[in-house]
Amino acid sequence: MHPVLNLARTVFLEARRSGLPWLALSSIVAAVVLAAFLTQVALTESLQLQAALAAALLRACGVFLVALAVASSTAREVADKGLEFMLSLPLSRATQYLGRWLGHAWSAVLVAVVFSLPLLLWSPAAAVAHWGLSLALELALVAALALFFSMAFGQLLPAVAASAGFYLLARALSTIQAIASAPLDESDWAQRAAQSMIDAIAFVLPRLDAVTRTDWLLYGAPAAGAYLAALGGLALYALLLLAAGLVDLQRRNL
């Protein structure tokens, strides 16, 4: 077996033996229960409301669980000197880094598959499949993001905080852009500078607001071109994060 796959298998088995499966199951139960509760309070379109709430909760839980699992695993290795031991083995740092990410990505994809299944209660299978594939790529991107910050900081809390901040900013940036595009005073240079800065930040961040959308479950998947472009953006940014992580790991002495 290739060293990358062997290391990925080890990381995946570690995640499976951790609390991740139980936390994922708890998230599913909570989402289904809260969605079912809506049937008691919603007067109309209860199925749509249930699907929207469950999808939003499952997406948020998936992102949090994957980021927490990656950050805690890496921080534990750093604290126990396990990372130093692994890097002393006759394996390149690229192999070590990619193997770790691949193992966490497998866990992320499995979480996405499991989280997609309850949505079949309210949405067509084709719509759930589109949503689930997008969630799988999004969680793989989150795994790359959390691994990058975990390797950079070496501690759990800063890594999780940085990952959460990055993700939330990428999700909300289109709204921030829309607000900034209509300044109160167009002649104010400070407002124009702020708008330019926001546009520059949006240019280098992934469009997470365009993927794993709840309306796909309610009204059907988007056009094939838009869907593939959204997924391609996720894959490209995940590769950029992996490249950045490799460069950072290669230049440091652990």
Which residue ranges make up each domain of the chain? 3-251
- Position 29 scores a pLDDT of 93
Q: With a cut of 70, say whether residue 187 has pLDDT above it.
A: no
The per-residue pLDDT of the chain, averaged, comes to 85
**Which has more confidence, 29 or 35?**
29
- Residues 170 and 168: their CA atoms lie apart, in Å, by 5
Predicted confidence (pLDDT) at residue 74 exceeds the cutoff of 80: yes
Q: Is the dihedral of CA 114, 2, 17, 165 positive or negative?
A: negative
Query: Is pLDDT at 113 greater than 80 in this prediction?
Result: yes
> Is pLDDT above 70 for 185?
no
Question: What is the share, in percent, of the chain residues with pLDDT greater than 90?
Answer: 39
Cα→Cα distances 29→25, 47, 172, Å:
6, 17, 27
> What is Dmax (Cα atoms) for the chain?
64
- pLDDT of 155 > 90? The answer is no
Count of Cβ atoms closer than 10 Å to residue 100 Cβ? 26
